[in-house]
Amino acid sequence: MTTSYDHFNLIFRGGTVYDGTGDEPFNADIGITGDRISALGDLSTATANDEIDASGMAVSPGFIDVHSHDDFHVLSSPDVEHNTLQGVTTLVVGNCGFGAAPYESAAGRLGELFKLPPGVTPWDGYAGYLATIDQVKPSLNVAALIGHNTLRLDAMGDSQEVPPSIDQVTHMAGWVAEGMDAGAVGFSTGLVYEPGRFSTTDEIAAVATVSGGYRGVYASHIRNEGEGLLKAVQEAIIVGEMSGCSVQISHHKASGSDNWGAIERTLEIIEAARERGLHVSVDQYPYTSGSTRLAAVLQNGAFSDGSGGFGLVKAEDVLIATAPGYPSHEGRSLESFIKEWDLPPEDAAQKILDEAGDDVYVVLFMMDEGDVRRVMAHPTTMIGTDGIPVGSKPHPRAWGTYPRILGHYVRDESVITLPDAIHKMSGMPADKFQLAGRGFVKEGAFADLVMFDPSTVIDTATYEDPKTPPVGMPHVIVNGVPVVRDGVHTHARAGRALRLGLE
Ligand code: ZN
Ligand code: CU
């Protein structure tokens, strides 16, 4: 390929390009003009204001983190270091039913994670939220899902344990219309959390139908990832079929050792739905542990009968990640509190919540490595971090998800190929969430790019020391601007709000 351009803002020279389609890589220089890739090919005679030597390196589309909870974090910590340093150039926020609007119901809902910094004016709906993103300009791009839990709080106030009235359903649907009009990319639920867990399939489908009218996504933290996993996957598919939404099953897993292996069945159910014409896909973070609110684990009876959304969880498999006001709790296992206080697991967990408040997060070891690999290798799986970057011992997925897949699962374990992994991180999510101009390396696309060394890239974040950046991933470009250079954040604020289907 030749080009008529002979001068660029920035050229990546001599890299191996993985273009996001899943196809085999090719050797090409990449020329960037403004916020776009303006040429791809042999640019050896072209000049540039800035050059990056990419020889021996992989260059790919920047990663699209399809499962983020950084709705407020992108405003309070706009460098978003845990994501940008691991190659993420776009976040899809608003997952698990927790959205950014309406503001009053959203703010403080996830504790420190959903708090606004001084100087940022609260918004009303999604038009206001997306405008705030464009004002604050974080270092990466942000697309938003509308959260059902947030809408339900707004519509129903304190009386959540009953079905909504027609007026209350209409109220929720009105917010979805506002959000989709403003450019949100879909609607999400979190059906193990309050108040979402009080809702019926009919209620969810009725509200999701508005998103379906825009061909939006229905993303769900499904009602049960333990012994009720199959039924819960089927419920998500039914909501898709009733609402016209494409379906995204969040952080797909089988939780609790009694349920390990059930992934084989869920993937068959998903394949059957796809054969019927429904677009169903899933996302995953590459660890055998998860992380969530301790209050939700308790509400789902995870330490007693295991029939709730998390399956049966043993106290020794629970680590305190974040305990506001009690930093010395962080990193300790629930088992250690049980011994210290001589209390049964539920009482010990409740005592921690009574002392530190509702915003205690835990890490839970509850998955099977074989299941993790089965999900990863499935062609419908894309990658998301589900990062919760608060407290001193958050789950390492917030810093390590992408390099862990590229280094551990691709290079060391050969679970998936490199072109496939890149596709799951870029092109596949861009298509799913209708992020126009994103997710692929091609002429005319936005210049969201990451350069890494396939032979050395790896995560370094651990449970003991979870806030550490990867190695082997020196450069990250957002909208043509380097936000990470030689492994160091440049503090460039090059991101923008992305609106459904619009460039
Ligand atoms: Zn979730
Ligand atoms: Cu989540």
Using the 3D structure, point to which of 338, 365, 392 is the last residue of a domain: 365
List Cα–Cα distances, 316 to 99, 290, 313, 330, 407, in angstroms.
32, 14, 9, 14, 29
Confidence (pLDDT) at 103: 98
Confidence (pLDDT) at 2: 47
Q: Is residue 359 part of a domain?
A: yes
Ligand 2 centroid to Cα of residue 271, in Å, is 23
Share of the chain above pLDDT 70, in %: 99
Beta-strand relationship, 63-65 and 58-61: unpaired
**Model confidence at 1, in pLDDT bands (50, 70, 90)?**
very low
Rounded Cα distance, 463 and 358, in Å? 22
Q: Identify the nearest ligand to the CA of 68 by its number.
A: 2
Q: Is the pLDDT of residue 456 over 90?
A: yes
Average pLDDT over residues 133-158: 98
Q: Is residue 496 part of a domain?
A: no
For the record, the structure tokens of 404 come out as: 């862990």
Ligand 1 centroid to Cα of residue 355, in Å, is 25
Same-domain status, 130 and 117:
yes
Q: Which residues contact 488 (CB under 8 A, 6 or more apart)?
A: none
**pLDDT for 160-200, tens place per residue?**
999 999 999 999 999 999 999 999 999 999 999 999 999 99
Average pLDDT over residues 304-325: 95
Same-domain status, 249 and 301:
no
Ligand 2 centroid to Cα of residue 495, in Å, is 22
What CATH number corresponds to the domain at position 337? 3.30.1490.130
Asked whether the beta carbons of 476 and 489 are under 8 A apart, the reply is no
Q: Is residue 379 part of a domain?
A: yes
Helix axes 166-182, 148-156, angle to 10 degrees: 130
Q: Identify the nearest ligand to the CA of 225 by its number.
A: 1
Q: Is the pLDDT of residue 3 over 70?
A: no
Same-domain status, 357 and 412:
no
Rounded Cα distance, 170 and 178, in Å? 12
Chain position carrying tokens 């160091």: 488
Ligand 2 centroid to Cα of residue 189, in Å, is 10
Confidence (pLDDT) at 305: 86
Same-domain status, 469 and 331:
no
Using the 3D structure, point to which of 404, 432, 460 is the last residue of a domain: 432
Higher pLDDT, residue 304 or 169: 169
Q: Is the pLDDT of residue 4 over 70?
A: no
Local structure of 51: helix, strand or coil: strand
For the record, the structure tokens of 265 come out as: 């069945």
Ligand 2 centroid to Cα of residue 471, in Å, is 26
Q: Is residue 17 part of a domain?
A: yes
Domain that holds residue 309: 289-365
Q: Identify the nearest ligand to the CA of 296 by its number.
A: 1
Ligand 2 centroid to Cα of residue 384, in Å, is 9
**pLDDT for 474-487, tens place per residue?**
999 999 999 999 99
Same-domain status, 279 and 337:
no
Q: Is residue 466 part of a domain?
A: yes
Q: Is the pLDDT of residue 133 over 70?
A: yes
Ligand 2 centroid to Cα of residue 146, in Å, is 13
Average pLDDT over residues 8-31: 98
Rounded Cα distance, 346 and 297, in Å? 10
Confidence (pLDDT) at 329: 97
Same-domain status, 315 and 378:
no
What CATH number corresponds to the domain at position 465? 2.30.40.10
DSSP state of 300: T
Ligand 1 centroid to Cα of residue 42, in Å, is 44
**Model confidence at 8, in pLDDT bands (50, 70, 90)?**
very high
Same-domain status, 321 and 341:
yes
Local structure of 218: helix, strand or coil: strand
Chain position carrying tokens 């092109």: 427
Same-domain status, 484 and 417:
no
Using the 3D structure, point to which of 349, 365, 381 is the last residue of a domain: 365
Average pLDDT over residues 292-299: 96
Local structure of 209: helix, strand or coil: helix
**pLDDT for 283-293, tens place per residue?**
999 999 999 99
DSSP state of 24: P
Same-domain status, 88 and 38:
no
Mean pLDDT of the chain: 97
Share of the chain above pLDDT 90, in %: 98
Ligand 2 centroid to Cα of residue 364, in Å, is 14
**Model confidence at 5, in pLDDT bands (50, 70, 90)?**
low
Ligand 1 centroid to Cα of residue 68, in Å, is 10
Q: Identify the nearest ligand to the CA of 253 by its number.
A: 1
Same-domain status, 272 and 296:
no
Local structure of 362: helix, strand or coil: strand
**pLDDT for 48-77, tens place per residue?**
999 999 999 999 999 999 999 999 999 999
Rounded Cα distance, 338 and 345, in Å? 6
Average pLDDT over residues 193-221: 98
Q: Is residue 494 part of a domain?
A: no
Same-domain status, 191 and 235:
yes
Report the DSSP beta bridge partners of residue 32.
10, 37
Local structure of 267: helix, strand or coil: helix
Same-domain status, 77 and 192:
yes
Ligand 2 centroid to Cα of residue 350, in Å, is 22
Instruction: Quote the strand ranges of 44-161, DSSP E.
Output: 47-53, 58-61, 63-65, 88-93, 141-147
Ligand 2 centroid to Cα of residue 327, in Å, is 23
Q: Is residue 139 part of a domain?
A: yes
Q: How many domains does the chain have?
A: 3
Instruction: Answer left, alpha or beta for residue 66, where phi above 0 means left and psi between -120 and 50 means alpha.
Output: alpha
- First vs last C-alpha separation in the chain: 25
Which pTM value belongs to this model? 0.98
